[in-house]
Structure 1
Amino acid sequence: MKSSFKKRLREALKGILNEIEIKFLPSGFQQIGTIVILNLKNQLWNRKDVIAEAVQNIVSNCDAVCLNKGAIYSQFRTPQIELVIGESTETIHKEHGTLYKLDVSKIMFAKGNINERKRYPKLVKNEIIFDFFSGVGYFCLNIARLANPKRIYAFEMNPIAYHYLVENIKINKVSDKIKPILGDCKTEALKIKEKADRIIMGLLPSPKDALPTAFQVINPKKSIIHYEGLLNDSDPPEKLLEDVSIIGKEFNKKTKLEHVEFIKSYRPHVNHVCLDILVN
Structure 2
Amino acid sequence: MKAVVVPVRDVEKVKAELISMDVLDKERKIRIVEHPDGKFAEIPVISYVDGSDIDGFDVVEQEGPDFYRHAMSLKEHLSGLIPEELLGIVPSGWQVLGDIVIVSIPEELQSYREDIARKLLDINPRCRCVLQDFGIKGTFREPEREIIIGEETETIQKEHGCSFKLDATKIMYSKGNLAERKRMSKLGKDEVVVDMFAGIGYFSIPLAVHGKPKKVYSIELNPLSYNYLLENIRLNHLEGIVQAINGDCGKVTPQGIADRVIMGYVGTTHHYLDKGIGAIRKEGGMLHYHETTPEVLVFERPIQRIKDAASALGRDVEIRACHRIKKYSPGVWHVVVDAFIK
Provide TM-score, normalisation by structure 1: 0.93
Displacement of 1:106: 0.4
* Amino acid in the other structure paired with 1:226: H
Query: Aligned with 1:10: secondary structure?
Result: helix
1:172-219 alpha-carbon deviations (Å, 9 max, x no partner): 0011100001111111114x6x61111100011250111121232211
Give the alignment partner of residue 84 of structure 2, picking from 10, 14, 19.
19
Task: Report the equivalent of 1:245.
Answer: 307
1:36-61 alpha-carbon deviations (Å, 9 max, x no partner): 11111111122111110111111232
Task: Report the equivalent of 2:111.
Answer: 46
Give the alignment partner of residue 178 of structure 1, picking from 231, 242, 258.
242
Bigger drift between 75-84 and 18-27 goes to: 18-27
1:220-243 alpha-carbon deviations (Å, 9 max, x no partner): 111111001133444342321111
Distance 1:134 1:277 in 2: 19
Give the alignment partner of residue 284 of structure 2, picking from 222, 239, 264.
222
Displacement of 1:99: 0.2
Q: Count the aligned residue pairs.
A: 274
Distance 1:183 1:128 in 2: 19
Distance 1:278 1:37 in 2: 39
Asked whether the 8 Å contact 1:98–1:172 carries over to 2, the reply is: yes
Task: Report the equivalent of 1:256.
Answer: 318
Asked whether the 8 Å contact 2:216–2:242 carries over to 1, the reply is: yes
Asked whether the 8 Å contact 2:263–2:276 carries over to 1, the reply is: no
Query: Aligned with 1:123: secondary structure?
Result: coil
Task: Report the equivalent of 1:57.
Answer: 122
Asked whether the 8 Å contact 2:192–2:216 carries over to 1, the reply is: yes
Give the alignment partner of residue 97 of structure 1, picking from 161, 183, 189.
161
* Amino acid in the other structure paired with 2:195: D
Correspondence list, 1:1-280, <5 A = 7-69=72-134, 71-190=135-254, 195-280=257-342
* Amino acid in the other structure paired with 1:249: S
Structure 1 residue ranges without an equivalent (≥5): none
Pair 216,233 (structure 1): closer, same or farther in 2 beyond 3 Å: closer
Query: Aligned with 2:185: secondary structure?
Result: helix
Distance 1:23 1:108 in 2: 28
1:1-57 alpha-carbon deviations (Å, 9 max, x no partner): 8xx56x532232222211122222111111111111111111112211111011111
Distance 1:243 1:206 in 2: 12
Query: Aligned with 2:155: secondary structure?
Result: strand
Distance 1:168 1:236 in 2: 34
Distance 1:135 1:236 in 2: 25
Identity percentage of aligned residues = 35
Q: CA RMSD in A?
A: 1.6
* Amino acid in the other structure paired with 1:16: L
Asked whether the 8 Å contact 2:197–2:263 carries over to 1, the reply is: yes
Choose 1 or 2 for highest CA Rg.
2
Asked whether the 8 Å contact 2:74–2:120 carries over to 1, the reply is: yes
Asked whether the 8 Å contact 1:135–1:156 carries over to 2, the reply is: yes
Query: Aligned with 2:266: secondary structure?
Result: coil
Asked whether the 8 Å contact 2:187–2:207 carries over to 1, the reply is: no
